[in-house]
Chains A and B, each alone.
Chain A
Amino acid sequence: MPERKIRILVAKPGLDGHDRGAKIVARALRDAGMEVIYTGLRQTPEQIATAALQEDVDAVGISILSGAHNTIVPRICELLRQQGMEDTLVLVGGIVPDEDIPALKQAGVAAVFQPGAVTQDIVEFIRAHAKRAASELRGGTVDSQQSTVDS
Chain B
Amino acid sequence: MTDRGRQAGTDIEPARPERKTSAEEMRWEEKVLKPALERSPQRQKTFTTLSGVPIEMLCTPADLAGFDYGRDLGDPGEYPYTRGIHQTMYRGRLWTMRQFSGFGTPEDTNQRLHYLLKAGQTGLSIAFDLPTLMGYDSDHTLAEGEVGKCGVAVSSLADMETLLAGLPLEQITTSMTINSPAAMIWAMYLVVAEKNGANWQKISGTTQNDILKEYIAQKEYIYPPQPSMRLVVDTIIFSARQVPRWNPISISGYHIREAGSTAVQELAFTLRDGIEYVEWVKRAGAAVDEFAPRLSFFFNAHNDLFEEIAKYRAARKIWARLMRERFGARNPRSWTCRFHTQTAGCSLTAQQPYNNVIRTTLQALAAVLGGTQSLHTNSLDEAWALPTQEAVTLALRTQQVLAHESGVVNTVDPLAGSYFIEKLTLETERACYAYFNKIDALGGMVAAIEKGYPQKEIHDAAYAYQQAIERKEKIIVGVNEHVTEETRPIEILVIDENVARRQRAKLAELRARRDNARVQAGLQALGSAATTDQNLMPYILECVRAYATLGEMCDVLRRVFGTYEEPAFR
Residues of A within 8 A of B (CB): 14-20, 23-24, 27-28, 38, 40-42, 44, 66-72, 95, 97-98, 114-116, 118-120
Contact = CB atoms under 8 A, between A and B. Distances in A.
B550 to A, nearest CB: 14
B522 to A, nearest CB: 26
Interface of B: 130-131, 133-134, 136, 142-146, 149-150, 214, 218-220, 258-260, 346, 349-351, 383-385, 459, 462-463, 466, 470, 476, 479, 487-488, 492, 495, 497, 565-566, 568
Contacts of B218: 17-18
Given A20-B462, A67-B150, A95-B383, A72 B349 contact: no
Contact of A66 (B149, B466, B488): B149
Contact of B470 (A44, A71, A119): A119
B259 A20 contact: yes
10 closest A-B pairs by beta carbon, nearest first, are A71-B145, A17-B219, A68-B145, A15-B130, A115-B350, A67-B149, A68-B146, A116-B479, A17-B220, A115-B383
Given A15-B134, A95-B384, 6 more contacts: A17-B218, A20-B462, A24-B466, A28-B466, A66-B149, A118-B470
Given A17-B218, A40-B566, A118-B470, A68 B149 contact: yes
Given A17-B218, A17-B219, A19-B219, A116 B351 contact: yes
A16 B385 contact: no
A33 to B, nearest CB: 16
Nearest to B470: A118
A118 B144 CA distance: 30
Contacts of B495: 67
Contacts of B479: 116
Given A23-B459, A95-B383, A116-B351, A66 B130 contact: yes
A71 B144 contact: yes
Contacts of A115: 349-350, 383-384
Given A98-B487, A116-B479, A119-B470, A15 B350 contact: no
28 contacts: A14-B130, A15-B131, A15-B146, A17-B218, A17-B220, A18-B218, A18-B219, A18-B258, A20-B259, A20-B260, A24-B463, A28-B466, A38-B568, A40-B565, A41-B566, A44-B142, A66-B149, A66-B150, A67-B150, A67-B385, A68-B144, A69-B145, A71-B145, A71-B497, A97-B385, A97-B492, A115-B349, A116-B350
Contacts of B136: 15
Contacts, number: 93
Given A14-B145, A17-B218, A19-B219, A24 B384 contact: no
A112 B566 CA distance: 27
A46 to B, nearest CB: 11
A117 to B, nearest CB: 10
A118 B463 CA distance: 12
A116 B349 contact: yes
A70 B149 CA distance: 12
Nearest to B483: A116
Nearest to B214: A17
Contacts of B383: 95, 115
B466 A119 contact: yes
Nearest to A17: B219
B466 A95 contact: no
A118 B466 CA distance: 9
Contacts of B487: 98
A116 B479 CA distance: 6
A121 to B, nearest CB: 10
A107 to B, nearest CB: 14
Nearest to A14: B146
Contact of A15 (B133, B258, B351, B476): B133
A19 B384 CA distance: 17
Contacts of A28: 463, 466
Given A19-B219, A41-B219, A95 B385 contact: yes
A17 B211 CA distance: 13
Given A16-B130, A66-B130, A114-B350, A97 B149 contact: no
B44 to A, nearest CB: 22
Contacts of B346: 20
B462 A24 contact: yes
